[in-house]
Amino acid sequence: MSLTNKLVELMNERGINRSELAKGAGIPYTTIVALFEKGSENTKLSTLKKLTTYFGVSLDTLAGEPEEMNRTDPAHREKEEWTEEEIEEIKLFKEFLKQKRKKQE
């Protein structure tokens, strides 16, 4: 399955469009459009990392061949399991932990 097909699958699971993906993942909308229209051959690693973080999947899963999506982020295992507000709180907590880790380094 191609990267764009996997992205479409993940977006459908979340019920989001390209604009919402761009906003949620922190990627310029024009980058998302180019990814879908021009292909993913020259996609920057930083863009791929943002997508994997947003969807809670590994880079291997997103860009590789495995058909099964191995979710690494518990907030994304079951769409119905978390409300949008809870997901936002989880994202904020993740950012808090990242900042805390940076301060300790």
Q: At CB < 8 A and 24+ separation, what contacts does 59-63 make?
A: 61/6, 62/3, 62/6, 62/7, 63/3
* 70 band by pLDDT with thresholds 50, 70 and 90: very low
* HSE-up (13 A, CA, CB side) for residue 102: 6
pLDDT of residue 26: 95
The whole-angstrom separation of Cα 11 and Cα 5 is 10
Closest C-alpha to 87, from 71, 76, 95: 76
Whole-structure pTM value? 0.60
- CATH number of the domain that residue 68 is part of: 1.10.260.40
- Digit-coded pLDDT (tens) for 4-50: 888 898 999 899 999 999 999 999 999 999 988 887 777 888 898 89
pLDDT of residue 65: 54
Question: How many domains in the chain?
Answer: 1
| 67 vs 47, more confident | 47
Print the domain residue range for 68.
3-104
